[in-house]
């Protein structure tokens, strides 16, 4: 007997239940989820880990690539810029891609593109081929995180998504932190080409695993491509991200930066207006009508700005100021990365029990305090002290990074999953670029101010400076046997070098002050992250399940043999599907929010219920969410 024939339609009233009715958790398959979800998660998380790891491998190796291809520092930065711009273009369109292709088609194609790009980079005979290889790599990796997050939303009920998202965070945050350490070791002992040769077999293995075990999770809905929106997004995001990437080095007053930011801003405004009015938007921005999703996205963006900005500032301090090697700099950040990888699944499990707010508040409190401690750096700060602070900071972020995002995605109805993950990842990408550009600009500008102040201070009227100057002159004359004139010239060089070093440290401290204020703002906003009121949902869900059981029993009596109808029956798949449907519907949004979104849900349901094309016969139907209609609002 078909499950669909027994499910209540939109027109059927839901029988209200007593407010004290117990919660009905899904049982059987609904409780344990998709039968293939463990291998699906392993394959996709491993692929995302490899793709994200590659993003940070080149940061340490850029000086080696400058020598290998005989290019200057500004030119070699295009290896990072091209990768970032390609991500910025493709992430907003991933919602369309996820609605058009099956999970297997999209993931295997993305990993194949990434593999091809890695091979091009490994054998690149010229800088142009290297840049093209990076673009091909990014074309594959851009799809990974939104696709993985959407698959998790489809495979896991809301009460289990925290741990699943926390496990995904191993790829999302552990890989970028390990990248500099691994890259530093490779370029110290081997050729830079090994940065790609080690990636190629890992990507190939993941593709083989995907072909063998990956299953389709949701059926494609075949949306139409919003061509005007696509064109507007390309111009807008490319211009904006390019302007932000150049602002850190050229300054915000540079003509190229100003034009890029203005063009990007104007086209993004038109893109937003287009998506809000289009019948089939490429990226449905109505996800921001959901208050928890919007609040968690804002908090997540602020955290990303502070985190990725600090990941740029720390290597500058450690390598340029303190003289540590790239490997030593990477090793300093390694304990924090390991701790974050361990704690993210633990934080996810805690989130499933207590929600996002307690974790976000505690995590942001730790992040704010440790970021403030980084405003006290000086030329003598101990290596162990820096490592401890960085590790504690990463511990704080491990409590909130994925839990906050999961809370927002849990509020969305199913038809907005792919749009929510794409919108969240797009916002994070832009926020990371903004954070990096702003903090680097603050560091640069404030360093110039501090250096000018030092120049005004270095006079004979300053007793401390004059005494230090005389001591240095005497040292050069006595120990190095320099003449008085040579010793005085060297002493001035040393003093101005120390002034430049100290002004850079003070500029870094000023940048961390701004990061501290950003973390504090996110800390305050964390108190406004509310949890869905599951008590009312459970009561309404119990009433719906009671009605569903009555219908199921009536149908079973008329269709099953008499010998079977007299015996007590265990909960069947119909009841499980009904219970699971109600839980998802009530967990993702409160009743009034779902009612407000009802016209949108109906229109999306019409699309989702369209006949499946013959090419999608492979799609699994044993997923707990694949066999269900769109959850109806509980009235």
Residue 384 CA: distances (Å) to CA of 167, 527, 622: 29, 33, 52
What is the mean pLDDT, run by run of 10 residues, along the chain of 635 residues? 39 37 35 67 89 78 80 76 82 85 91 93 90 91 86 85 82 74 80 89 93 83 83 89 78 85 92 88 88 89 80 81 80 83 86 88 93 90 90 88 85 86 86 82 86 73 67 74 74 75 89 91 89 45 39 43 38 42 43 40 41 41 41 38
Report the distance separating Cα 195 and Cα 182, nearest Å.
9
Torsions phi, psi of 183, nearest 5? -65, -40
Q: Are 487 and 494 in contact (CB under 8 A)?
A: no
Q: Given phi > 0 = left and psi -120 to 50 = alpha, else beta, which region is 33?
A: left
pLDDT at 117: 93
Distances (CA, A) of 606 to 221, 415, 635: 10, 11, 21
Q: Write the CA distances from 600 to 361, 413, 594, integer angstroms.
A: 34, 10, 10
Contact (CB, 8 A) for 19 and 539: yes
CA distance 85 to 82: 5
- Whether the CB-CB separation of 200 and 137 falls below 8 Å is answered with no
pLDDT of residue 397: 85
Taking CA 433 as the corner, what is the angle to CA 74 and CA 338, rounded to the nearest 5 degrees?
100
Q: How far apart are CA 209 and CA 37, in angstroms?
A: 14
Q: What is the pLDDT of residue 108?
A: 93
Per the CB < 8 A criterion, the answer to whether 343 and 177 are in contact is no
Phi, psi of 570 (to 5 degrees): -75, 165
Compute how many other C-beta atoms are within 10 angstroms of the C-beta atom of residue 242. Answer: 21
Query: Are the C-beta atoms of residues 170 and 345 closer than 8 Å to each other?
Result: yes
Residues 321 and 383: their CA atoms lie apart, in Å, by 13
Smallest CA-to-CA distance from 417 within 232, 633, 161 is with: 161
Displacement of CA 97 from its chain's centroid (Å): 18
In 3D, which of 372, 363, 389, 390 has the Cα closest to residue 296?
363
Determine the 3-state secondary structure of 193 from DSSP. Answer: coil
Buried b (16+ CB within 10 A) or exposed e, 346-376: ebbebbbeebbbbbbbbbbbbbbbbbbbbbe
Is the distance from CB of 152 to CB of 29 less than 8 angstroms? no
Q: What are phi and psi of 2, to 5 degrees?
A: -75, 135
CA distances (Å), origin 475, targets 169, 480, 481, 483, 497: 54, 7, 9, 11, 17
- State the Cα–Cα distance between residues 489 and 493, nearest whole angstrom: 6
363: tokens are 């995590």
Q: Checking phi first, is residue 571 left (phi over 0); if not, alpha (psi -120 to 50) or beta?
A: beta
- For domain 31-223+592-635, which architecture applies? Up-down Bundle (1.20)
Q: Are 84 and 207 in contact (CB under 8 A)?
A: no
Residue 73: per-residue pLDDT: 67
Residue ranges with strand state E in 261-346: none
Please state, as a whole number, how many other Cβ atoms lie within 10 Å of the Cβ of residue 249: 15
- Residue 321 DSSP one-character state: I
Q: What is the rounded CA–CA span in Å between residue 300 and residue 406?
A: 11
pLDDT digits (tens, 9 = 90+) for 161-176: 888 888 887 777 777 7
**Residue 157: what are its φ and ψ, rounded to 5°?**
-70, 160
Q: Give the pLDDT confidence score for residue 209 in this predicted structure.
A: 93
Using CA atoms, how far apart are residues 123 and 133, in angstroms rounded to an integer? 10
SS3 at position 149: helix
Q: Quote the Cα angle for 299-303-309, to 5°.
A: 150
- Rounded Cα distance, 97 and 147, in Å: 9
CA triple 597-599-600, angle to 5 deg: 65
Q: What is the C-alpha separation between 432 and 330, in angstroms, rounded? A: 20
Domain boundaries, the chain: 31-223+592-635
List, in sequence order, the alpha helices (H) in 458-570: 463-479, 484-526, 534-559, 562-565
Prediction pTM value: 0.70
What pLDDT shows up at residue 35? Answer: 63
pLDDT digits (tens, 9 = 90+) for 511-529: 999 999 989 999 999 998 8
Give the Cα separation of 409 and 296 in Å (integer). Answer: 9
The answer to whether 131 and 78 have CB atoms below 8 angstroms apart is yes
DSSP character at residue 159: G
Residue 308 CB contacts under 8 Å (≥ 6 apart), including other chains: 432, 435, 436
Burial class (CB in 10 A: 0-12, 13-18, 19+), 513: middle
Spatial CB neighbours of 456, under 8 Å, sequence gap ≥ 6: none
Give pLDDT, residue 463. 63
- Report helix angle 534-559 to 573-588, nearest 10: 160
Task: Identify the residue whose tokens are 């027994």.
Answer: 6
């Amino acid at each position: 007997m078909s499950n669909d024939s027994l499910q209540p339609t939109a027109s059927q009233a839901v029988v209200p239940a007593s407010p004290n009715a117990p919660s009905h958790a899904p049982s059987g398959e609904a409780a344990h989820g998709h039968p293939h979800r463990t291998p699906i998660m392993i394959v996709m998380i491993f692929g995302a880990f490899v793709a994200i790891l590659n993003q940070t491998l080149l940061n340490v190796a850029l000086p080696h690539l400058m020598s290998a291809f005989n290019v200057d520092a500004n030119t070699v930065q295009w290896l990072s810029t091209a990768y970032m711009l390609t991500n910025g273009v493709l992430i907003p369109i991933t919602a369309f891609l996820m609605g058009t292709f099956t999970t297997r088609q999209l993931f295997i194609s993305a990993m194949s593109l990434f593999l091809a790009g890695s091979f091009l980079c490994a054998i690149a005979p010229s800088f142009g081929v290297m840049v093209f290889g990076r673009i091909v790599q990014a074309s594959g990796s851009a799809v990974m995180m939104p696709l993985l997050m959407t698959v998790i939303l489809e495979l896991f009920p809301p009460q289990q998504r925290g741990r699943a998202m926390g496990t995904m965070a191993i790829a999302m945050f552990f890989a970028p932190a390990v990248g500099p350490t691994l890259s530093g070791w490779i370029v110290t002992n081997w050729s830079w080409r090994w940065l790609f040769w080690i990636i190629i077999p890992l990507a190939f293995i993941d593709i083989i695993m995907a072909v063998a075990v990956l299953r389709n999770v949701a059926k494609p809905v075949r949306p139409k491509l919003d061509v005007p929106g696509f064109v507007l997004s390309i111009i807008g995001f490319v211009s904006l991200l390019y302007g932000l990437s150049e602002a850190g080095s050229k300054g915000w007053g540079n003509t190229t930066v100003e034009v890029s930011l203005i063009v990007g801003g104007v086209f993004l405004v038109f893109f937003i207006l287009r998506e809000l009015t289009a019948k089939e938007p490429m990226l449905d921005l109505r996800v921001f009508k959901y208050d928890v999703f919007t609040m968690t996205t804002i908090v997540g963006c602020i955290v990303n700005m502070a985190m990725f900005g600090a990941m740029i500032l720390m290597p500058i301090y450690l390598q340029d100021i303190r003289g540590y090697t790239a490997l030593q700099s990477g090793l300093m950040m390694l304990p924090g990365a390991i701790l974050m990888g361990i704690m993210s699944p633990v934080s996810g499990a805690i989130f499933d029990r207590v929600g996002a707010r307690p974790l976000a508040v505690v995590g942001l409190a730790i992040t704010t305090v440790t970021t403030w401690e980084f405003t006290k750096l000086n030329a003598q700060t101990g290596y162990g002290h820096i490592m401890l602070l960085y590790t504690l900071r990463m511990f704080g972020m491990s409590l909130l990074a994925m839990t906050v995002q999961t809370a927002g995605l849990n509020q969305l109805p199913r038809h907005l999953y792919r749009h929510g993950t794409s919108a969240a990842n797009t916002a994070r990408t832009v926020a990371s670029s903004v954070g990096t550009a702003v903090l680097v600009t603050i560091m640069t500008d404030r360093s110039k101010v501090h250096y000018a102040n030092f120049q005004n201070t270095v006079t004979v009227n300053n007793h401390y400076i004059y005494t230090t100057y005389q001591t240095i002159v005497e040292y050069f004359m006595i120990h190095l046997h320099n003449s008085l004139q040579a010793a005085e010239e060297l002493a001035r060089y040393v003093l101005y070098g120390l002034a430049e070093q100290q002004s850079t440290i003070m500029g870094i401290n000023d940048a961390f002050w701004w990061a501290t204020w950003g973390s504090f703002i996110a800390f305050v906003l964390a108190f406004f992250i509310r949890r869905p009121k599951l008590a009312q949902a459970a009561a309404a869900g119990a009433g719906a399940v009671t009605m569903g059981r009555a219908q199921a029993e009536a149908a079973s009596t008329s269709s099953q043999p008499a010998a079977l109808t007299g015996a007590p029956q265990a909960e069947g798949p119909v009841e499980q599907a009904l219970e699971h449907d109600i839980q998802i519907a009530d967990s993702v949004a409160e009743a009034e929010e779902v009612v407000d979104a009802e016209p949108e849900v109906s229109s999306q349901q019409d699309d989702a219920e369209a006949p499946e094309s013959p090419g999608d016969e492979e799609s699994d139907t044993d997923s707990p969410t694949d066999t269900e209609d769109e959850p109806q609002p509980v009235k």
